[in-house]
Amino acid sequence: MTNPLHCDECQAIRRELAEAYAEEWASSDKGTRDAWDAVYKMIGGTEEDAERAEELLPKAQFRDRPRIRLIVQKTDDHMARTGHAVRRIR
Mapped onto helix, strand or coil, the DSSP state of residue 1 is: coil
Task: Assess whether pLDDT exceeds 70 at residue 3.
Answer: no
Instruction: Kindly report the average pLDDT of the chain as a whole number.
Output: 86
Q: What is the pLDDT of residues 40-81, one digit of tens each?
A: 888 888 889 888 888 888 878 777 889 989 999 999 999 999
Residue-level pLDDT at 78 = 94
- At residue 64's C-alpha, the angle toward residues 16 and 24, to 5°, is 45
Considering 4-8, 19-23, 58-62, the range whose residues carry the highest mean pLDDT is 19-23
For the chain, helix (H) and strand (E) counts, in that order, are 4, 0
Report the distance separating Cα 45 and Cα 22, nearest Å: 24
Read off the pTM.
Answer: 0.70
Please list, in sequence order, all residues whose beta carbon lies within 8 angstroms of the beta carbon of residue 21, skipping any fewer than 6 positions away: 68, 89, 90
